[in-house]
Structure 1
Amino acid sequence: MTTLITPVILSGGSGTRLWPLSRSKRPKQLLALTGTETMLQMTAGRCVDGGRFGKPIIVTNAAHAEDIGAQLTASGFTPAAIITEPAGRNTAPAIALAAIEANSDAALLVMPSDHVISDVPAFHAAIERALPLVAEGWLVTFGITPDAPDTGFGYIQRGEEIVAGVQRVAAFVEKPDRARAEQYLAQGNYSWNGGIFLFRADTYLTALEQYAPTMAKAAHAAMAGATRDGAIVAPERETFLQSPSESIDYAIMERADQVAVVPVEMGWSDLGSWDALHDIAERDVDGNVIHGDVVAIDTSHCLIRGEGVVVTTVGVKDLIVVATRDAVMILPRGSSQEVKRVVEQLKTRAHITLDMPFPMD
């Protein structure tokens, strides 16, 4: 019998690492950054095989639920549920809400809503390798094959092979410094932690009750008191707020016994910065990534994006230039992690561009 997988798409983020395009009311998962589809639509589109995947469950916040529903409908997707978290409590409680909503024996494929996977067949093949262990009660994560000693990701140390292409997790490792990241890459038995998981709903909930009972109790109570309006499921607020705020890694994966990793090369990026977008996007003959109404003269190795405005550059190189109708950001390429400093400055001024939706029209 074929296992029907329920995609669980986590879309609660309101990140501003791609400011000024990404805003708290219109975060990057709701934007089309690498093509004509938004990141959310692309994520849902990886799970459209009716013989293998069921309808997705989306976990988000109430502010984004309407946009998410509209985007999924526009792409022909019918969600099983859009669960609106009463407040952000990190990934472990969010996944618990989805696991309670799903059938207890469903295999849950947990995915962030804002990642890029260019080799979907490789992703599907990795899922198939994991499913037999999932049926036996294993918690599975997918380890991204690293191509650089990146210090921006957590790492997974892979242990002995359980079955072909699947290994036991030896350890989860925090984001390392440069020297340790280079050591991990040289050793060859470490993967990036991409935050993608596969397990049965009942397996996850049993683990939650064992390792995070307060969280499990709060999630069950919140879903028992949930209100429903079509596909929208709103867990009861006060009981959910009693849940601790913890990631799935800390709450479950680092504590459980049967935890496996499937290493996979699938053209993955978390698209966590403007530099990451430059790295994966198609570049012109001068090494530029151009989007919008842009005139670039004697310009090389830049990312230039104009949204509703004309952007012109002359005689520059290695820059990131992003201009919207209400904000302009310019910084050296390779420094896009510094956007967080810009955002912090704007927060101290309670600046409207952090909260308002991007002016699309």
Structure 2
Amino acid sequence: MTQKIVPVIMAGGRGTRLWPLSRAAAPKQFIQFIGDKTLFQETLQRVSDPALYDAPVVLTNEEFRFLVAEQARELDIDLAAILLEPVARNTAAAVAAAAAIVGKRFDGDTIMHVLGSDYEIVADDTYFDCVRIAAATAAQGKLVTFGIQPTEPATGYGYIEGGEQLPSGARVVARFIEKPPLNKAEDMVATGGFYWNSGMFMFSVSCLLDELRTHAPETIRAADEAVEKAKTDLDFIRLDKAAFSAAPNISIDYAIMEKTSNAAVVPSPFKWSDLGSWDSVWKSGSRDEYGNVAAGNTTVVNTKNSLIMTHGVHLAVQGMDDIAVIASEDAVYVGRLQDSQDVGNLVKMLASAPKTSQLTETHPTSYRPWGGYTSVLNGDRFQVKRIFVTPGKKLSLQKHHHRSEHWIVVKGTAEVTIGENVQMLRENESVYIPLGEIHRLANPGKIMLELIEVQTGSYLGEDDIIRIVDEFGRS
């Protein structure tokens, strides 16, 4: 096959099932679980072969736009476009908008590979064989889905029944099946020919648009108008809010895949997990001789069949079995692995209480287009932050009405503007920014700039920032 495939990566979901590491504003696709890359970055790497793929299109929302850009930059992977969904409308409208963009840049015969960014896949030869079978099938006018070979009678996934085999090696879709009860799942796995619905698709732009016009005309009308009225902002394409909001809130499965007569499934025996619970993270991890999966600073004694992960404090676990112990910078979850599907209910309880609601929304670490910051300590009229600035980036020229700031450089070189004065600060040097003074921080160096910021004042909220000049269009 010589025609390249355009990947369309869905990266906008808000998730809390893997709390406390995932939050509403920091979903699992952008979090490092086990290893040195996030699930989103692993997805980017799977579509990075220039012999097979063109540059990817990423669909996300306003809140995650800089996370997407920064995590792609860390891998030195160029993106064809970052589409910003103004409101959540499930996958049908998002995929339709992506198809409109891809069709304009290429042509109707272009093959799109639609995939999520929040599941784990072992991208071995078996995986890429399935990708090539799907591409060949899509080139023949089929709308293709990847059906994962079941390893157990899971009840958390929808299933696909395969029909007659096609010349490409794919099979006609006989029917889609909703998430089944355990006895039906056991029967399907025992019978064979049934697959988990992975949520990955492949089809040509023209075939997809034809099916949308037939089965989901309101969706394609809204998506076309949202693209037509879209605005470019830095590296982002902002879909028109009014037009996109008119699209039905419906998945691509319900919109066309379950209605079309052209659906095909590629039986896919590669390793796949949607990492929908701590139990699935444990199953996907590399277990030691006692069945434990541990990541981060941990000490594990007389414990078996457990998951121990930390992004902050050192975890010492003793005498446990079938336990998940997960620590972020500001919260710890402890529960039985077999009960980890119920974490969502726990998060709802936390979100409903004013004292704990923030724990479900944001992490202590927040990312910005220039780098980010981590909240270290908060008190009455003061707070301490660790600020990190990417080489070559600078914050907005700004001032504050209610706080003063002290900056101490701990790594790298800082270019500091205070009023009319510009000075360079190196490691172990510090500076004071008085209340109301116009100031700016920049990293002119080749390495990450890190500094400690101590804020003091009557109000320390992030909305006390008056931006005067900003290269990211926020002034």
SS in 2 for 1:305: strand
What residue identity is the alignment partner of 1:355?
E
Contact 1:159 1:168 in 2 (8 A): yes
Match of 1:354 in 2: 360
Aligned residue number for residue 325 of structure 2: 321
Query: Which of 282, 300, 305 is the matching residue for 1:278?
Result: 282
Tell me how far apart the structure 2 counterparts of residues 326 and 48 of structure 1 sit (CA, whole Å).
35
1:168 to 172, 180, 189: 172
Equivalent in the alignment of 1:250: 254
| Residue number in structure 2 paired with 1:31 | 31
Match of 2:52 in 1: 52
Counterpart of 2:184? 180
Task: Provide the secondary structure at the position in 1 that maps to 2:166.
Answer: strand
CA distance in 1 between counterparts of 2:126 and 2:346 reads 37
The residue type equivalent to 2:258 in the other structure is E
Residue matched to 2:84: 84
Structure 1 counterpart of 2:271: 267
Q: Residues 34 and 295 of structure 2 are in contact (CA less than 8 Å); yes or no, is this contact kept in structure 1?
A: no
Deviates more, 1:233-242 or 1:347-356: 347-356
**Superposed displacement of residue 121, structure 1:** 2.1
- State the 1:300 CA deviation: 1.6
User: How much has 1:359 moved relative to structure 2?
Assistant: 3.5
Map 1:129-278; keep pairs closer than 5 Å. Answer: 129-278=133-282
CA separation in 2, counterparts of 1:297 and 1:130?
47
CA contact (8 A) 1:23 1:358 kept: no
Partner amino acid, structure 1, of 2:110:
A
C-alpha displacement at 1:119, in angstroms?
A: 3.6
1:138-176 Cα shifts (integer Å, max 9, x gaps):
100010000110000000010011125210000000000
Q: Which has the higher helix share?
A: 1
Gaps of 5+ in 2: 367-373, 375-475
Greater C-alpha radius of gyration: 2
Stretch deviating more after TM superposition (341-350 or 269-278): 341-350
Q: How does 1:290-301 map to 2 (within 5 A)?
A: 290-301=294-305
Deviates more, 1:78-87 or 1:351-360: 351-360
Whether the aligned pair in 1 keeps the contact of 2:136 and 2:168 (CA below 8 Å) is no
Q: Which amino acid aligns with 2:198?
A: G
Is the contact made by 1:21 and 1:358 (CA closer than 8 Å) also made in structure 2? Answer: no
> Which residue of the partner structure matches residue 66 of structure 1?
66
**Greater Cα shift, 21-30 or 159-168:** 159-168
What is the CA-CA distance between 1:131 and the residue it aligns to?
2.4
Which residue is equivalent to 1:288? 292
8 Å CA contact 2:46–2:123 kept in 1: the answer is no
Q: Using the alignment, how far apart are the partners of 2:66 and 2:146 within structure 1?
A: 30
Cα offset, 1:136, TM superposition: 2.3
The size of the alignment, in residue pairs, is 361
Decide which moves more: 202-211 or 152-161.
202-211
8 A contact 2:137–2:168 mirrored in 1: no
CA 343–121 in structure 1, closer or farther in 2 if over 3 Å, else same: same
Q: State the partner residue of 2:422.
A: none
**Matched letter for residue 4 of structure 1:** K
Normalization by structure 1: what TM-score? 0.97
* 1:325 aligned counterpart, secondary structure: coil
Unaligned runs of 5+ in 1: none
Aligned mates of 1:346, 1:223 — CA distance in 2: 38
TM superposition outliers: structure 1 runs of 4+ over 4 Å: none
- Give 2:39's aligned amino acid: M
AA partner of residue 296 (structure 2): G
Residue 111 of structure 1 corresponds to: 115
Could you tell me whether the CA contact under 8 Å between 1:24 and 1:357 is conserved in 2? Answer: no
SS at match of 1:301: coil
Q: Distance in 2 between matches of 1:353 and 1:174?
A: 33
1:9-53 CA-to-partner distances (Å, cap 9, x unmatched) read 001111111000001111110011131111011001011221210
Give aligned-pair identity as a percent: 38
Q: Are 2:321 and 1:345 aligned?
A: no
Q: Could you say which residue in structure 1 is the equivalent of 2:311?
A: 307
Q: Which structure has greater strand proportion?
A: 2
Contact 1:26–1:358 (CA under 8 A) maintained in structure 2:
no
Contact kept, 8 Å, 1:41 with 1:71, in 2: the verdict is yes
TM-score w.r.t. structure 2 length? Answer: 0.74
The alignment partner of 1:125 has SS state of: helix
What CA distance in whole angstroms lies between the structure 1 residues aligned with 2:303 and 2:166? 51
SS class of match (1:223): helix
- Of residues 32-41 and 179-188 in structure 1, the stretch that sits farther from structure 2 once superposed is 32-41
Deviates more, 1:100-109 or 1:89-98: 100-109
CA distance in 2, matches of 1:34, 1:323: 13
Structure 2 counterpart SS, 1:53: coil
| CA–CA separation in structure 2 for the residues paired with 1:359 and 1:235 | 28
Distance 1:137 1:275 in 2: 39
